[in-house]
Amino acid sequence: MSDAASSALLDAHLERGQIDGLLTGYSTTFPHLMLSTLFAEHFGIVPSYGHAIQLGGATGFAMAMLAHHVVESGLARNVLVVAGENRLTGQSRDSAVQTLAQVGHPVYEVPLGATIPAYYGLVASRYMHDFGTTEQDFAALAVLMRSHACLHPGAQFREPITEADVLASKAVASPLKLLDCCPVSDGGAAFVVSRDATSPHSVRVLGTAQAHTHQHVSAAPSLTQFGAAASTRAALDSAKRRLADVDYAAIYDSFTITITILLEEIGLAPRGAAGRLAREGHFSRSGPTPLNTHGGLLSYGHCGVGGAMAHLVEAHLQMTGRAGARQAGERHLALLHGDGGVLSSHVSLVLELDWTEGGDGITYQRCGHCAHVWYFRREFCPSCGESSPPRLQSAGTGVLHALTRVFRAPSEALRVHAPYSIGLVDLDEGVRVMAHVRDDARIGDRVRAEYVTFGDRRIPSFCKE
C-alpha cells in the first residue's frame, strides 16, 4: 500500500503534507478496525477526513465515487485512495476460499458447502439457459484478458492461452473452470482525487452512480438482470453523456460470467454476444471499445480491493496516453463499472478529459459563494475572489452567437484544414466559448458540441442540433 501510495503522489505532483483526505478499503488478511487511520500513521500523513469502506469488489470504485463527492463538497482538497493485500501469500488457499465464501448467507447458503465460484456457477447456468451463451463464449473473454496481460510487465500471468486451454482447465464449479476464475494475488493500488488538476495528466470524474439489488444470490430478484444497467445509466445521465460516447471500458471481471453479464446488461454487447465480440476483436486494443487493457482481474490479478482499482489506474494511463505498448490509441471517455458480492452491489464511474487537456469535453466554473460562472480556468472567482471554485462539466449545447470563416491559417500545420469556421457559442450554462463550427450552422441556431482532430489535438466543433 505504501509503495502504491508513494507512486500515486509522485504521479499527481503532490507531497504527503498536501493530502488532507484518506480512503482505504478492507483487507481479508489484516481485518483492522481502523484501517484508514492505521495507514495514515504508517504513511506519515495527518488527514482531516478519513474513511474505510467495505463493498466487496465494488469497494475501489465506491471509494473513487466518495472521494469525488468529498472534494466537490469542500471537505478535503486532495484525497488519497489506497488499498492492498497479500491475499496470495498471507493466508492458505483453503483460508482464502473459506473467507470469500462468507458473502453467502451464514444460515441458508454457507453450510451447503457453497463457494464464490459456486455462487457464480449458479448464475452462469441460468444465463446460458436463457441466452444461449456457451462455455466457449466465456473462454473467449479469458483469452482476451490474457492477451492484454501479456503486454503488462506487472501482470501475474503473461503466458498466452487459447480457448482450448480454458476449456481444458480444471473444473472448479460447473460450468466454470480454473481459467474462467480470477487468481488470488498479492498487490496494491492507489490514486489521488483532487478538487483541482495537480498534474499535466489529470482526468475528470464526470459522473458516478450506484445500484444495490440484493446481498445473497438466493435472494436475487433475477439471475440475468442485476443493477449494472441502472447504475451505468444513472452515471452517464449525471455526466450528460451517452453509452455510444464511451471509447474505453474498465469492467469488473472476477469470473468470465461476471464480465459477460456486465458487458451485456450495460449494453456494450448484445445479450449472448460478448464472447463473440471478444473473439472478433471488438474489445481489443485496436477495437472500437478497448476493454481492461492491463489484463483485468482474470490475468493481471486480483488482490482484493486493489484489484478493481487497477482497472481505474489503467483507464487513467490510457486516457493520458501513457500505457506504453498497451496504448489503445486516443481515448477520451471511459466507463468503469465494478460489482461486489454476487453481482449484488454496483458502482459506475465516467471519466473524461477536457478538450484543453487532450480530451472530449468542455468545463466551466461556478462560484459557490456568489454563483458567478465563467469559462477561462482560474483558482479564484473573478467576481468575489472566493478561492478554489469547482470545475463543472458542460452539456455542450447552446446558441451560436457569432461566426467567421478562416481562409488563411496561422501556421503551416493548420493550412491543410483551411478554410474552417470559428464561432462564439453561448452555452446553456451561461458561459461563452470559442470553438469550430460546422458549415451548416448559422447565427441564432441551437448547436451541440462534437469533437474533431485539428492539427495535433482534439477540439470542440459545434453542429446544428
Q: pLDDT class for 42, splitting at 50, 70, 90?
A: very high
Tell the residue number behind the cell numbers 493530502, with chain if given.
Answer: 19
pLDDT in tens, 395-432: 899 999 999 999 999 998 899 999 999 999 999 999 99
pLDDT in tens, 360-387: 788 898 998 999 999 998 878 999 998 8
Mean pLDDT computed over 181-192: 96
Q: What per-residue string of b and e applies to 340-352 under the rule 16 or more CB within 10 Å gives b?
A: bbbbbbbbbbbbb
For the chain, the domains span 2-89+181-353, 363-464
* Distance in angstroms (rounded) separating the CA atoms of residues 306 and 35: 14
Neighbouring C-beta atoms of residue 143, cutoff 10 Å: 24
Direct distance between the N- and C-terminal alpha carbons of the chain, in angstroms, rounded to an integer: 48
* Distance in angstroms (rounded) separating the CA atoms of residues 50 and 47: 6
91/154: higher pLDDT: 154
Q: What was the pLDDT predicted at 196? A: 83
CB 381 within 8 A of CB 389: yes
* Distance in angstroms (rounded) separating the CA atoms of residues 19 and 193: 10
Mean pLDDT computed over 73-88: 94
Question: pTM to 2 decimals?
Answer: 0.82
pLDDT in tens, 87-140: 889 888 788 888 888 889 999 999 999 999 999 999 999 999 999 999 999 999
Mean pLDDT for the chain overall: 94
List CB contacts of 33: < 8 A, sequence separation 6 or more: none
Q: pLDDT class for 316, splitting at 50, 70, 90?
A: very high
In single-letter form, the type of residue at position 211 comes to A
* Distance in angstroms (rounded) separating the CA atoms of residues 405 and 403: 7
CB 352 within 8 A of CB 359: yes
Q: pLDDT class for 174, splitting at 50, 70, 90?
A: very high
- The domain made up of 2-89+181-353 has a fold known as Peroxisomal Thiolase; Chain A, domain 1 (3.40.47)
